Amino acid sequence: MMNILNHRFRDWRKSLWAVASFFLFSFQASAQSTFDVSILAGTCANCHGTDGRATGAIPSLAGRPASTLEALLRAYKSDSPPPGTTVMNRLAKGYSDEELAALARHFAGIPAVVSSSAQGVKK
């Protein structure tokens, strides 16, 4: 009888370990592969304006096609950035290709111009 109980306890312990391992490792994998793009995009506001809408000489990012933005970011990250590049080549190197693509999609999804209703203007 004792032998049967020890065997069942061992099987139960192995099963518990397998389930716990599955959840532990799948949580770690998902935590490593996801990130909040809005946090990354916040750093762009220093030069490109809030939500990628620049007001000065620096180009706006909002509303531009994602493919164009991603191509530019990858060019900045490359070893031969476009002529006239200032700090973007150094900044872009700090992001993974996945992060650059996410940033491009993020800014492409923001309207280039704020609508009057979004600004709270009453007519």
Same domain, yes or no, for 26 and 41? no
More confident residue, 120 or 89: 89
Same domain, yes or no, for 39 and 28? no
Q: How many domains does the chain have?
A: 2
Residue 101 has pLDDT above 70, yes or no: yes
Same domain, yes or no, for 25 and 67? no
Same domain, yes or no, for 103 and 52? yes
Q: What CATH number corresponds to the domain at position 51?
A: 1.10.760.10
Beta strands in the chain (DSSP E): none
Domain that holds residue 44: 35-123
Same domain, yes or no, for 94 and 56? yes
Note the pLDDT of residue 123: 42
Does residue 57 sit in helix, strand or coil? Answer: coil
Phi, psi of 4 (to 5 degrees): -65, -45
Does residue 62 sit in helix, strand or coil? Answer: coil
For the segment 89-106, the average pLDDT, to the nearest whole number, is 95
Same domain, yes or no, for 15 and 72? no
Residues 6+ apart with CB under 8 A from 85: 76
pLDDT tens-digit readout, 16-64: 555 555 555 544 444 445 678 989 898 899 999 989 999 889 999 999 9
